[in-house]
Amino acid sequence: MRCHPLLLLGLLAASPAWAKKVDLDYQVRLMPASGQAEVRVTLADGSAVRSLDFDLGKLGAYSGFQADGQWQLRGQHGVWQPASGKTSLSYRVQLDQKHSNGAYGARITPHWALFQGDQLIPPAHLDQQDGTELVARLTFDLPEAWKSVETAWARIGKDKFRIDDSSRLFDRPTGWILAGDLGSRRARLGDTDVTVAAPVGQGMRRMDSLTLLTYVWPQLQATFPRNPPKLLVVGARDGMWRGAMAAHGSLYLHSGRPMVSENGSSPLLREVVQLFTQIRARDGSDWLVESLTDYYASELLRRSGGMSDDRYQAWQARLSKQGAKVTTLKGDQASPAQVARGVMLLQALDKEIRIHTQAKRSLDDVARGLMRLPSVSTEEFVKISENVLGRSSDVLQSKALR
């Protein structure tokens, strides 16, 4: 079959491989004395972008805007219409962020900084010329005596990273970022480069974390078949929030938290499970995501041989007691008792599936089905579970799901 030359040229022009590539550079200068970072956004050719509409969030987080072209503040939004040719937008962003209890969720000190990339460049709606592809890079200008910086993105030079997010039209740095006088431990687990990093003197158990991940990784990948190119684990102690939180390709763990707590739960594994599953809840189904995360954080530890049968049974007994009075699982934000009740339901469902499929299928198949959806509801969870089971589920007749 022959193709008309004009049609062929049209097809080639529409192909992403033939898109006009325009450099988009983010240059970040960290300023500990003011608790801020200075950010410069530079386009190699401003005519490729008609506008960037930034969601600036709460008042005061961003300030000192200077732009080539036009810049307009509209309430919580800032709209940049770049000038033609090489063009830039610069501003300052407040990095220090405190929770209501006074602990820092993000912080910059004279010796280190720990924050999320989302803070540097706010989310924006991009209106660009057709046939254009922005090639984004992130570069840091560190204070004197600060040795290095770690992000979840691919390193392409000293303190320089390539930002490439296929889920977004507008590539911007997201995930945890750590800079300063750092100590790091690295390993390649499967196809993933894993780094555990923390400021020197902050008490982070880097080798403990890396050893636990190495131990559990085969079971993690067997259950959730993902191969992220990079995983960054960061932590600190002084003044920081005593919790754990996953973000893009990375997670934060307070350096005072145990790898595995006395009750058998692991804050580190819990956040890793969230990174791998990436299941999002809707329609009052927060219990499902939280319970799946808790279930697999302990289940993967057990499958790896890190939790004995008697300790696993003790964990089940604690869950049963904690969730005994729960009458409904649905709600916008699941309570600890609802999560415990949800874990017990998932355990019973896994047992039911294994019995009725002669151990050919399990809750793992349900979880992998949920991972394919952009977001999930309790009703979809029931449908996927019964499809895996091959019949109506007795466990899912529970009144707590109604």
Q: Report d(CA 52, CA 235) in Å as an integer.
A: 33
**Per residue, what are the HEC states of the chain?**
CCCCHHHHHHHHHHCHHHCEEEEEEEEEEEECCCCEEEEEEEECCHHHEEEEEEECCCCCCEEEEEECEEEEEECCEEEEEECCCCEEEEEEEECCEECCCCCEEEEECCCEEEEEHHHHCCCEEEEECCCEEEEEEEEEECCCCCCEEECCCEEEECCEEEECCCCCCCCCCCCEEEEECEEEEEEEECCEEEEEEEECCCCCCHHHHHHHHHHHHHHHHHHCCCCCCEEEEECCCCCECCCEEEECCEEEECCCCCCCCCCCCCHHHHHHHHHHHCCCECCCEHHHHHHHHHHHHHHHHHHCCCCCHHHHHHHHHHHHHHCCCCCCCCECCCCHHHHHHHHHHHHHHHHHHHHHCCCCCCHHHHHHHHHCCCCECHHHHHHHHHHHHCCCCCHHHCHHHC
89 with 64: CB under 8 angstroms?
A: no
In the numeric block, the tokens 């299941």 are attached to 279
pLDDT digits (tens, 9 = 90+) for 225-237: 888 999 999 999 9
Q: What percent of the chain has pLDDT over 70?
A: 96
Q: What is the pLDDT of residue 264?
A: 76
pLDDT digits (tens, 9 = 90+) for 322-368: 999 999 999 999 999 999 999 999 999 999 999 999 999 999 999 99
pLDDT digits (tens, 9 = 90+) for 348-361: 999 999 999 999 99
> Is pLDDT above 70 for 369?
yes
Q: What is the pLDDT of residue 11?
A: 43
Q: Report d(CA 357, CA 369) in Å as an integer.
A: 17
Of 8-12, 152-156, 353-357, 379-383, the one with minimum mean pLDDT is 8-12
Q: What is the pLDDT of residue 7?
A: 46
> Is pLDDT above 60 for 9?
no
> Is pLDDT above 70 for 96?
yes
232 with 195: CB under 8 angstroms?
A: yes
The CATH classification number of 20-94+117-173 equals 2.60.40.3650
Q: What is the pLDDT of residue 4?
A: 52
Q: What percent of the chain has pLDDT over 90?
A: 86
Class of domain 279-401: mainly alpha
Q: What is the pLDDT of residue 245?
A: 96
Strands 87-94 and 62-67 come out as antiparallel
Q: What is the pLDDT of residue 59?
A: 76
Structure tokens at 187: 């390993």
- Per domain, the residue ranges of the chain are 20-94+117-173, 181-276, 279-401
> Is pLDDT above 80 for 50?
yes
CATH of 181-276, one of 3.40.50.720, 1.10.287.1080, 1.10.390.10, 1.10.10.410: 1.10.390.10
> Is pLDDT above 80 for 3?
no
**Quick check: do 20-94+117-173 and 279-401 share a fold?**
no
Average pLDDT on 42-57 reads 96
Closest by CA to 109, choosing from 42, 200, 46, is: 200
